[in-house]
Amino acid sequence: MTATEEIIEPDLPIIDPHHHLWDLRPLVPSFPEPRHDFIEAIAGADYYTFDELFADTHSGHNVVGTVFMECGAFYDASRDEAMKPVGEVEFVNGVAAQGASGLYGEYRPCTAIVGHADLTRGDAVKPVIEALIAAGNGRFRGIRHAAAWDADPDVLGPPFHAPEGLYGSDAFRAGFAAYADYGLTFDAWLLEPQLGDVLELAKAFPDQQIVLDHCGTPLNIACYRGKLHERFDIWRKSIHALAECPNVAVKLGGLAMAFCGLPEDGPAKGYGSEHLAALWRPYIETCIEAFGPDRSMFESNYPVDRWGASYPVLWNVFKRLAQGYSADEKHALFAGTAARIYGIEDVLPAA
């Protein structure tokens, strides 16, 4: 079931700064049972490529461009382990070229690409970064090295393998220092109880642009189920502490993931934007209050957030939550901040 709504402010330009592309269908036989629940809860869809992205971004809102976020898809099996992620950037650059062909109007999907490199390799990560830059053909903007971990194995499940305390490890810090030489962005994904780890990283590397994904991922799953309210103040203090670091920005979204349980029941139960806005308001408003519109950007996190919201409803939620902001602040939240941080200002319509 999918909620159908009139699109709010349909002309407002949007850069979606966080979505994925993948095809998990060849991997289906290796997935643990129950496969269907796993796919729907964690991935949102077993495949999501150009056609699916195009349909979502053309479902009523004025999405003028997007930023691809690494997700371990289309790795190049012919390369050695360190270089395999270059295949993902090569694939996504092809999607970006498809969009840039002019066949789809002014729409520019994947106009910025965030890939992956294993920063625990220290200085040896430099050839990987250089290969990623080359593969991006001018579109490569940075990497994400996720650190999501929890002692309860039911929180994340088998696809996630980050070690405890990754961002504080000597090996990671050595690679991060090497990576900092390139002037690229770094997307950080970890869970609410781990937010102190990215805070310490940001303080140790004050000149490195860090983007915190998914409002810091509050948890309402496994051993955290039913604890959103009691942990809210802990999360809020962490967000305000991170906002004191001028090199950190935040992505406003990811709350429709099964991890966050906002809503608890999914996938695609058809909740409308008013209901979801009420659930997400405390988190979104806290983040914008802490970081300001110039360091905050709304994101779809599609197709993962399909768990809780269709693409048009999700952006309606954000527009409801942004109703009290000025035109300039809305521009920042929906497009300007993403355009500046990922270096894609040319995607925005002329003023």
Question: What is the DSSP secondary structure assignment for residue 302, as one 8-state letter?
Answer: B
Q: Is-contact 160 124, C-beta < 8 A?
A: no
CA distance 17 to 335: 8
Q: What is the pLDDT of residue 25?
A: 80
Question: Quick one: which H or E segment has residue 48?
Answer: strand 47-48
- At residue 1 the predicted structure's pLDDT band, cuts being 50, 70 and 90, is very low
Question: What is the DSSP secondary structure assignment for residue 101, as one 8-state letter?
Answer: T
Task: Give this prediction's pTM.
Answer: 0.96
Question: Quick one: which H or E segment has residue 62?
Answer: strand 62-69
Q: What is the pLDDT of residue 26?
A: 78
pLDDT per residue as tens digits for the range 74-126: 999 999 999 999 999 999 999 999 999 999 999 999 999 999 999 999 999 99
Q: What is the pLDDT of residue 129?
A: 98
Q: What percent of the chain has pLDDT over 90?
A: 87
Q: What is the pLDDT of residue 40?
A: 64
Q: Is-contact 253 19, C-beta < 8 A?
A: no
101 Cβ contact list (under 8 Å, min separation 6): none
**Residue (of 240, 238, 331) closest to 288 by Cα position:** 240
Measure Cα distances from 153 to 111, 234, 258, 272, 304 in Å. Answer: 36, 22, 15, 32, 20
Which of the residue ranges 35-44, 153-162, 178-187, 238-247 would you say has the lowest mean pLDDT? 35-44
**Residue (of 39, 9, 104, 25) closest to 66 by Cα position:** 104
Q: How does 295-332 read in b/e, with b if 16+ C-beta sit within 10 Å?
A: bbbbbbbbbbbbbbbbbbbbbbbbbbbbeeeeeebbbb
pLDDT at 57 over 70: yes
Angle between helix axes 50-57 and 86-100 (nearest 10 degrees) is 50
CA distance 167 to 208: 14
pLDDT per residue as tens digits for the range 83-93: 999 999 999 99
321 Cβ contact list (under 8 Å, min separation 6): 277, 280, 281, 284, 285
Residues, the chain, total?
351
Q: What is the pLDDT of residue 29?
A: 60
- At residue 222 the predicted structure's pLDDT band, cuts being 50, 70 and 90, is very high
What is the rounded average pLDDT for all residues in the chain? Answer: 94
Which of the residue ranges 43-57, 222-236, 238-252 would you say has the lowest mean pLDDT? 43-57
pLDDT at 251 over 80: yes
CA distance 89 to 71: 11
**Residues pairing with 65 in the sheet:** 15, 108
CA distance 297 to 67: 12
Q: Cβ of 63: how many Cβ atoms within 10 Å?
A: 25
- At residue 68 the predicted structure's pLDDT band, cuts being 50, 70 and 90, is very high
Write the class of the CATH domain 13-345: alpha beta
DSSP string, 53-91: HHHHHTSSSEEEEEEEE--S-S--TTS-GGGTTHHHHHH
pLDDT per residue as tens digits for the range 161-173: 899 999 999 999 9
Q: In the β-sheet with 140-144, what is the strand arrangement from edge to edge?
A: 13-19, 62-69, 108-115, 140-144, 185-188, 210-212, 248-252, 296-298
Q: What is the pLDDT of residue 31?
A: 56
Select the highest-mean-pLDDT range: 7-21, 31-45, 253-267.
Answer: 7-21
Q: Is-contact 276 308, C-beta < 8 A?
A: yes
pLDDT per residue as tens digits for the range 280-311: 999 999 999 999 999 999 999 999 999 999 99
CA distance 118 to 116: 7
Measure Cα distances from 152 to 156, 163, 166, 263, 264 in Å. Answer: 8, 13, 17, 21, 19
Question: Quick one: which H or E segment has residue 23?
Answer: strand 22-23
Tokens representing 123 are 């200085």
- At residue 269 the predicted structure's pLDDT band, cuts being 50, 70 and 90, is confident
pLDDT at 2 over 60: no
